[in-house]
Structure 1
Amino acid sequence: MMLASGSCAKEARFLLLSLLLFAAWKAGRGQVHYSVPEEAKHGTFVGRVAQDLGLQLEELVPRLFRMASKGSGDLLEVNLQNGILFVNSRIDREELCGRSLECNIHLEVIVERPLQVFHVEVEVKDINDNPPVFPATQKNLFISETRALDSHFSLEGASDADIGANALLSYRLSPNEYFSLGIPTNDEQVKPLQLVLKKHLDREIVSELLLVLKATDGGKPELTGTVELHITVLDVNDNAPVFDKAIHRVKLLENARNGTLVIRLNASDLDEGSNSHILYSFTTDVSPDPEASFHIDSASGEIKVNGKIDFEETKLWKLQIEAVDKGNPPMFGHCTILIEVLDINDNAPELLVTSLTLSVPEDAPLGTVIALIGVTDRDADSNGQVTCSLTPHVPFKLVSTFKNYYSLVLDSALDRESVANYELVVTARDGGSPSLSATASVSVEVADVNDNAPAFAQPEYTVFVKENNPPGCHIFTVSARDADAQENALVSYSLVERRVGERVLSSYVSVHAESGKVYALQPLDHEELELLQFQVSARDAGVPPLGSNVTLQVFVLDENDNAPALLPPGAGGGGGAVSQPVARSVGAGHVVAKVRAVDADSGYNAWLSYELQPEARGARSPFRVGLYTGEISTTRALDEADAPRQRLLVLVKDHGEPALASTATVLLSLVDSGLPPKTLSRISVGDMDPQAALVDVNVYLIIAICAVSSLLVLTLLLYTALRCSAPPTEGACGPGKPTLVCSSAMGSWSCSQQRQQRVCSGEVPPKTDLMAFSPSVPPVLRSGDIGEQQEICGNQAPPNTDWRFSQAQRPGTSGSQNGDETGTWPNNQFDTEMLQAMILASASEAADGSSTLGGGAGTMGLSARYGPQFTLQHVPDYRQNVYIPGSNATLTNAAGKRDGKAPASGNGNKKKSGKKEKK
């Protein structure tokens, strides 16, 4: 602490020690108190604020140490290197606090990470820097010579802007023999300073006196002020006006209306005539100009309100009233009026919001300080007592930290995805009646954190891609949404690597990291890979990143890219040029040879048909080939006119688009029946007599016909009984829910309904071997019936893999009485000749050891010798299913796998396409 005088160094040191102890005591109470003299030089030490607040010097800068003060500007500053509070600019106590007895500078010290707020109070000490000042440098007094001894003449005292001892004035009059100075005691401070007459005046001796009145304050060093008293001695009018009271005390409400009567003065004069006629007026004083707020009637002495009366500006008015008579010379009387202004609640609270953070993370802990709120009210007592409240139903609350200071803190958890911004309203209300209030808006933005993983619309997707696609073909687009914002919602995609057979997944497909587009890196082969199942991972850019996976099932659709392959003769086929002896004695319909072929494709693309080339048929050709069996049989009895060597060209082609074909050459040698039996048997059937073989075949045929007929009759009876019984409960034995299956081919849609029929008997589990397929287009496609179509390899939808049977393509045997050479089947009846061909095939293959019903190597359904040529996964198993021609039925095997679709009744050229769904 530095004082103005070096002689007071010891007292200054004692005062400094006391202030430090007091500051330490205040810091323990949550507030640090310092003091500093006014007019201290720049850099004057005030206090070690960082040390007193318990802060480390090295953490002041990292924790954003700063200091804020209301209305004090930059008077004080803190050195961040040593934590010392020092004077930064000139401090004038009189300018800062006026004549208030207490003058304090309130500072708010704020540090962050974590946020702490401290309150520091610096008291500004007064120094004697203002001398006493009189209202005027010269005062003229007119005193009659007839005035009695001990007469008192009021003088206007001096004023000192300082306070305390520095403003305690003492007066001294220059030496003279006529007048002394009447100084009021401490209890009579309201009385004016008076000049007392000690000796009678005689104008003839002394007509004028010039005295000097000196005022000295109590500061160290002392400061003085002077006024010259010019006294003129008058004659005659020797009685001055006298008030009934020397001091008048009045109470007045602030904001009183103009014209409100404050007081009516009464003064009297013992003289007569004009010497007793009194006029009232205000005298000049150091108080604020009274004429700006009051008006005095010079004749009646009434004082009324004539301006704004504001308690917050002036709490006490001190008016000096002068009464003067009209004597010659005039005589004066004086009195003092003390007007106490009463406060009313005319000032609303004022709010000052200091935001500490621009945004609050949604995972911020409870108690996080969002903003500081300061409240002031210029009124007094209960009118100035303010309480604050916050908008209800928000996750924040107000906490009182100091007098008229609040902190806005987090009270409950935040969720940016629910509410991203809060508009809070802080209401301050005083205790007046009626109370006044003020509001302030605080906008709190919730900052996002990465608490939401990317989410796909569904857990898996099914994609259809044609085989032989071009490399780099776009097959699908995955998309995931993230409820977060900015980089936390920035999603990137990647493959979940795994092995597919001997190769890695990334050699087949790739995914674009930003768009989610999935590309096929190489042509896919249905014969090598029918289903490619993998996962795509979506990850956001948050820290730490969150992610989720989606499964893609890519079905590779078959294309007709494999021509039929003829089986070699060693495997029972007729590939290449096959030579086969035929006895001339065989009758019409006798099977003399069989051409076998397989196709690596599936569905229609693997369904083979056989036909003789035109040069092999001729007008009276004795042979024909089964359209779907490949069996070469006689159309009539052979005669001597037929050439002994017959060369047949059989064209084997599939039903793909476009169809692929292969040609087989069959050489038949017609031999007479008179050859030795051993030779004949070697040429025709086997190492047995032809008649014995025929007898054996007939026996097998009869047994097979009886067995199959019995099985068919039992099945039909059981089916009819179940149909005629009580309707089964839905979901157990009733018809399954029809599923709309649609596919898109080059922008056009074709739809069909697939309905599954179940056959039930007692408590036996329902069988799903019989499936009816109705190729009908629904009249209206409801929303949800057709799923979202994905662009597949250049805007191509997955092709329809249903078999397109026409009326001319339904399976049948050559020589059937119900059909023609093309194998046309009549509608709504079972072709018994087809059944006989199946039985004959089974019996013949049982006799010669070839494959039976159920298939052999590479085929299923009908035998490899007498059945249509289908691939392993698409040929129906006739042991486990019932095929009803002409009834729109679909053949399924025991596992429920689709094998093909029979043609619809009616126009055989109409094609129906649609996806098959497994029921």
Structure 2
Amino acid sequence: MAFFVMWHGAVFFMILSRYAVKGQISYSIPEEIPKGSIVENNSQGLGLDLKRLNSGKARIFAGDNRRFVGLNKEKGILLTEEKIDREALCAKTTPCASHLQLILENPMQKYDVTVEIIDINDNAPSFPKGEIRFEISETAVTGARFMLENPIDLDVGTNSHLSYSLKPTDNFILSSQGQTDGDKNMEMVLQKALDRENKEKLSLMLTAVDGGEPSLTSTVRIHVTVLDANDNPPVFSQRVYKATFAEITPKDTVIASVSASDADEGSNAIITYYMSSTGDVNDLFTVDTRSRDIRLKGSADFEKASRYQFNIQARDQGGLSDSCKVIIDLTDINDNKPIISIVSMSNSISEQSRPGTVVAMLNVNDFDSGMNGRVHCYRNDNIPFTIASSSSFFSLQTEQELDREKEAEYNISVICSDEGVPALSSSVSLRVQISDVNDNAPVFEKSNYEAFVVENNTPGLSIFTVKASDADWNQNARVSYILEDSIVNGVSISSYVSVHPESGLITAVRSFDYETLKDFHFRVKAQDGGSPPLSSNVTVKVTVQDHNDNAPQVLYPVQTGASVVAEIVPRAADVGYLVTKVVAVDVDSGQNAWLSYKLQKATDRALFEVGLQNGEIRTVRQVTDKDAVKQKLTVVVEDNGQPSRSAVVSINVAVADSFPEVLSEFTDFTHEKQYNDSLTFYLVLALAAVSFLFITCVVVIISVKIYRWRQSRFLYQSNLPVIPYYPPHYADTGVTGTLPHGYNYEVCMTTDSRKSDCKFSTLGRQNVLVVDPSFTETMQHTIKKKCSIDGLRITKSQKPPNTDWRFPPNQRPGPSGQHRFHTLQQRWTPYEKSRAGARPEEAGAGAGVIAGTGPWPNPPTEAEQLQAMMAAANEERNTHRFETSGRK
């Protein structure tokens, strides 16, 4: 690329060389070109198009260098931002170049750009003084040399090559003397002896012309005063003096010494020393005019200049002089810390960033040289980042995968240290935040939950709260709770409970009934707000606790509104005679189902007592003739709930030895009740119906007995062996309860009680006599009565109740159903809400006892069942006798 620059009427044709190697590019431009001049098309130089420059936010980074070049991203060209003066920028340093960086982002890229400033001849030579004066003795011999102060040309190269001319040349001519460093000293040589008497003062004109195109000139006037008789000039011992000192050398230190001698004597031998340099040298060094010592009078900086050169002139009193060159080298000291500049930085990166992702780009410069300027950067420990270097640029990169849940933010200290002794370092702090990614599912505080709720709760009751946490942040950590659909007892779980989507509060939708539902399970899902969302679930068990909301139910004796049925106690009954047993159950559980029996009212409290736990009504003392036939007892059955619930049962007890006595007494009892005539009519009608049913049953029973007698005769006459079979005392019916399982009663009766046949069997479904339903009703009524003590009690086979045994922990109190009688078979069948456990005989000694509870009520024994059956048979016999005696 060619640039044409007009300067002082001259045109310079310059070809700017350009090369680009691995991200580097160099340009050359002349100084003094106007502001806004085109430097180069940058996109073509780097192989980049305009889109890449704009998308990468291209910019020029100059660091600590002076920035005089800018980038036009729309056109992809470099432009000068100011008028460039090479002499002010680089002085005598060649080549004069500025190092810039072109920075691109997305992805981050860096290109080194070097712009070299080409010198033009824009500075004329300049003499240090406006005039030069010499005092020369007339005795000066031909060939005497007088050193002239060289002019200064700030240009470099050929532009600083000077040529001189001296006019007039009658006595003096110019002579140049080369130095070891290539410079030339101009001297004025006496070619014709001076004659002070002929001409005392001479005036000469010295002209300096540089080598530029066009050339520039400068002149200085030389005044020569001719002195008398000093014909020996001073002479230095050596032409060049060299010295070295460190840049931290304190002021007023002697750096070097020069030495000159003069063969003359007297005042003509007195030598005075002068420095013939200007500018920075005079500000930094000084020479003692008498002692010849060169001293440091300023602060030297190796980073500004590493070598200083100047001339020392020795002059005697007669005006003769000599000169020498002094070269002083400055040694570098590690006195500059590295300078860190943040070129580009990302304040936040994703936790899914791959290793090697660039987080920040740094530029580090150290103005020292050699080992003192070599820089290494490192970061603080225990962070997943590393630093990669390229020349003076360092990039901070991820070293491994990041996890925001472990560390959401990093404060990174980047420390850059040089290799000097001692080393100097600088640091910069970078703050990098890790952005969240939804990579964590919600986690419940427990693996499963269990909640308790008392039955009969109000709908909307808060039961329990589940809690889940998410390690993510913001929306990814926002947890919502969802009730997973499931089926409990054939209906959806949503009809039982609901879950608040934000708080996780579990609320009852309905009122629970312990007797229907004891516990149920469901699952709650916790889902976060990420995309896609993550979730987890937990199982919640809700246990319904029992509340004492059911009163005890009396199973026996059966209460009817107009019942006059009475339990018969013979007058010969001993103390502790079992009159009857109150059987009650409570469909609640635990303490709410523990029942106790109390005698509330009695005609004679001194005659009867009720077992607290078993409900057995027994005589307290011996029955006497003075005791009233009609005894009425009121028994209260209470549970152990808080508050307790109770049921009341009324029992009529007849103290008599014969049925007519009982009948007449309780007939009077009905009259005492003042029943109206209509009720009496219905009672008589019912009695007639019962009598008819009784006769029908007797006929059917006799027929069955005759049929069986014939079968047995047939079996006896056959040769087949007869093996009797006795079933076990307890048959497993698949239900639980404190009462025995099904019993079958087979009764055969005649008018003679001694010939009556009563069989008892525990076999579930054998020998069941099915009769007319009316007979069933009659038997249901009459089976409540107790048989008299004469000949029908079988106390020897009766198993005595034991009030001291206790139930094991899994025991439930008593059966919870009602008695249902099917013909002559008495079956104890519990309802669905029954609470029952193992029988005392099955519990075993090691079954354990619930602490703090008393014994529970005993179920009716086999003997009691048999007694009830025999009482019914005896009552039928007495009824039959009564009817027979009435007919007579």
Q: TM-score, normalised by structure 2?
A: 0.69
1:364 aligns with 2:347: no
CA gap 1:55/1:521 in 2 versus in 1, 3 angstroms: farther
CA contact (8 A) 1:574 1:666 kept: no
After TM superposition, give the deviation of residue 156 of structure 1 in Å: 1.5
> Which residue is equivalent to 1:559?
547
Farther-moved stretch of structure 1 (589-598 vs 219-228): 589-598
**In the alignment, which of 312, 327, 347 is matched to residue 303 of structure 2?**
312
After TM superposition, give the deviation of residue 520 of structure 1 in Å: 3.1
1:86 aligns with 2:79: yes
CA gap 1:584/1:177 in 2 versus in 1, 3 angstroms: closer
For 1:273-292, list aligned pairs within 5 A: 273-283=266-276, 285-290=277-282, 292=283
Gaps of 5+ in 1: 702-815, 817-822, 832-837, 860-870, 891-899, 906-919
> Which residue is equivalent to 1:577?
561
3-state SS of paired residue (1:850): strand
Deviations 1:364-418 (A, max 9, x none): 21112233344434333344344445556653333222x2333232223334444
- Which has the larger Rg? 2
CA gap 1:177/1:613 in 2 versus in 1, 3 angstroms: same
CA contact (8 A) 1:350 1:376 kept: yes
**In the alignment, which of 820, 837, 840 is matched to residue 876 of structure 1?**
837
For 1:330-479, list aligned pairs within 5 A: 330-345=319-334, 347=336, 349-352=338-341, 356-390=345-379, 394-401=383-390, 403-419=391-407, 428=416, 430-431=418-419, 434=421, 436-443=423-430, 445=432, 447=434, 449=436, 450-479=438-467
CA contact (8 A) 1:584 1:639 kept: no
CA gap 1:170/1:607 in 2 versus in 1, 3 angstroms: same
CA gap 1:500/1:222 in 2 versus in 1, 3 angstroms: farther
Farther-moved stretch of structure 1 (630-639 vs 103-112): 630-639
Given residue 523 of structure 2, which amino acid in structure 1 is its aligned partner? Answer: Q
3-state SS of paired residue (1:156): coil
> Which residue is equivalent to 1:889?
848
**In the alignment, which of 803, 814, 827 is matched to residue 851 of structure 1?**
827
Given residue 353 of structure 2, which amino acid in structure 1 is its aligned partner? Answer: A
**In the alignment, which of 146, 156, 159 is matched to residue 153 of structure 1?**
146
CA contact (8 A) 1:573 1:596 kept: yes
> Which residue is equivalent to 1:654?
639
Distance in 2 of aligned mates of 1:413 and 1:427: 23
After TM superposition, give the deviation of residue 195 of structure 1 in Å: 2.6
CA contact (8 A) 1:489 1:540 kept: yes
Given residue 336 of structure 1, which amino acid in structure 2 is its aligned partner? Answer: K
Deviations 1:324-365 (A, max 9, x none): 2223xx333322222233445555555555562334444321
CA contact (8 A) 2:417 2:423 kept: yes
Distance in 2 of aligned mates of 1:671 and 1:395: 106
CA gap 1:510/1:146 in 2 versus in 1, 3 angstroms: farther
Distance in 2 of aligned mates of 1:694 and 1:11: 154
For 1:57-96, list aligned pairs within 5 A: 57-72=50-65, 74-96=67-89
> Which residue is equivalent to 2:604?
619
Given residue 618 of structure 1, which amino acid in structure 2 is its aligned partner? Answer: T
Deviations 1:484-521 (A, max 9, x none): 45555444444334444565444543444444433334
CA contact (8 A) 1:607 1:654 kept: yes
3-state SS of paired residue (2:51): helix
CA gap 1:305/1:692 in 2 versus in 1, 3 angstroms: farther
CA contact (8 A) 2:355 2:398 kept: yes
CA contact (8 A) 1:171 1:214 kept: yes
> Which residue is equivalent to 2:514?
526
CA contact (8 A) 2:234 2:262 kept: yes
For 1:627-776, list aligned pairs within 5 A: 651-663=636-648, 673=659, 679=694, 688-689=748-749, 696=758
Distance in 2 of aligned mates of 1:699 and 1:636: 35
After TM superposition, give the deviation of residue 101 of structure 1 in Å: 0.7
After TM superposition, give the deviation of residue 632 of structure 1 in Å: 7.5
After TM superposition, give the deviation of residue 643 of structure 1 in Å: 8.7
For 1:108-127, list aligned pairs within 5 A: 108-127=101-120
Deviations 1:840-874 (A, max 9, x none): x9x9999942336xxx2317xxxxxxxxxxx43x3
> Which residue is equivalent to 1:33?
26
After TM superposition, give the deviation of residue 319 of structure 1 in Å: 2.5
Deviations 1:681-734 (A, max 9, x none): 989x98643958997478879xxxxxxxxxxxxxxxxxxxxxxxxxxxxxxxxx
CA contact (8 A) 1:68 1:108 kept: yes
Distance in 1 of aligned mates of 2:490 and 2:207: 117
> Which residue is equivalent to 1:895?
none
> Which residue is equivalent to 2:732?
none
State the identity as a percent. Answer: 36
After TM superposition, give the deviation of residue 70 of structure 1 in Å: 1.0
> Which residue is equivalent to 2:36?
43
CA gap 1:107/1:301 in 2 versus in 1, 3 angstroms: closer
CA contact (8 A) 2:569 2:579 kept: no
CA gap 1:595/1:348 in 2 versus in 1, 3 angstroms: same
3-state SS of paired residue (1:851): strand
> Which residue is equivalent to 1:739?
none
Distance in 1 of aligned mates of 2:595 and 2:181: 135
CA gap 1:251/1:604 in 2 versus in 1, 3 angstroms: closer
3-state SS of paired residue (2:352): coil
CA contact (8 A) 2:5 2:33 kept: no
Distance in 1 of aligned mates of 2:219 and 2:65: 35
Deviations 1:559-596 (A, max 9, x none): 122344567xxxx9825436364585868589888877
After TM superposition, give the deviation of residue 459 of structure 1 in Å: 0.2
3-state SS of paired residue (2:87): helix
Given residue 552 of structure 1, which amino acid in structure 2 is its aligned partner? Answer: V
Distance in 2 of aligned mates of 1:650 and 1:325: 155
After TM superposition, give the deviation of residue 558 of structure 1 in Å: 1.6
After TM superposition, give the deviation of residue 461 of structure 1 in Å: 1.6
Given residue 853 of structure 2, which amino acid in structure 1 is its aligned partner? Answer: P
After TM superposition, give the deviation of residue 189 of structure 1 in Å: 4.1
CA gap 1:264/1:42 in 2 versus in 1, 3 angstroms: closer
Farther-moved stretch of structure 1 (303-312 vs 545-554): 303-312
Distance in 1 of aligned mates of 2:114 and 2:754: 130
Given residue 288 of structure 1, which amino acid in structure 2 is its aligned partner? Answer: D
> Which residue is equivalent to 1:797?
none
Gaps of 5+ in 2: 664-690, 699-744, 764-794, 796-800, 808-813, 856-888
Deviations 1:294-338 (A, max 9, x none): 4534334233455544433332222221222223xx333322222
Q: TM-score, normalised by structure 1?
A: 0.67
The count of corresponding residues between Structure 1 and Structure 2 is: 729
**In the alignment, which of 546, 553, 561 is matched to residue 534 of structure 2?**
546
After TM superposition, give the deviation of residue 4 of structure 1 in Å: 1.9
Distance in 2 of aligned mates of 1:506 and 1:231: 123
CA contact (8 A) 2:568 2:579 kept: no
After TM superposition, give the deviation of residue 555 of structure 1 in Å: 1.0
Distance in 1 of aligned mates of 2:477 and 2:549: 45
Distance in 2 of aligned mates of 1:49 and 1:353: 24
**In the alignment, which of 81, 92, 97 is matched to residue 104 of structure 1?**
97
> Which residue is equivalent to 1:4?
5
CA contact (8 A) 1:591 1:632 kept: yes
> Which residue is equivalent to 2:525?
537
